[in-house]
C-alpha cells in the first residue's frame, strides 16, 4: 500500500475480525505492508483493510483448501 500517513491494517476471516493475538493466525504489520500467515489453513473468505485519515481500502480473496490424505 502507498499511504501517507502510513496505513493501519486489519484482517478478516469470513467477515470476522482476526485478533492480533490469535493462535490460529500470525499478523505481521510493517510500514504500509501487512502479511497474514495461517497456522492451519481454513477455507473461506479472507480480507485485509488498510486505513488512514484519507479513507479505507479493502481487498478480498477466497481460499480453497484441498487436503491430501
- Taking the C-alpha atoms of residue 34 and residue 47, their distance in angstroms, rounded to an integer, is 12
pLDDT of residue 34: 95
Per-residue confidence (pLDDT) for residue 10, from 0 to 100:
97
pLDDT for the residue 40: 86
CA distances from 39 to 2, 27, 31 (A): 28, 11, 24
Average pLDDT of 38-64? 94
- Nearest of 49, 58, 22 to residue 37 by alpha carbon: 22
- In tens, the pLDDT along 2-40 reads 889 999 999 999 999 999 888 899 999 999 999 999 988
Number of C-beta neighbours around residue 47 at 10 A: 19
Query: What value does the CA radius of gyration of the chain take, rounded to a whole number of Å?
Result: 13
Question: What is the reported pTM?
Answer: 0.87
Amino acid at each position: 500500500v502507498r499511504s501517507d500517513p502510513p496505513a493501519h491494517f486489519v484482517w478478516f476471516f469470513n467477515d470476522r475480525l482476526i485478533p492480533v493475538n490469535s493462535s490460529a493466525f500470525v499478523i505481521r504489520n510493517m510500514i504500509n505492508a501487512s502479511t497474514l500467515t495461517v497456522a492451519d489453513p481454513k477455507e473461506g473468505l479472507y480480507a485485509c483493510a488498510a486505513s488512514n485519515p484519507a479513507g479505507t481500502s479493502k481487498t478480498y480473496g477466497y481460499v480453497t483448501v484441498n487436503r491430501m490424505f
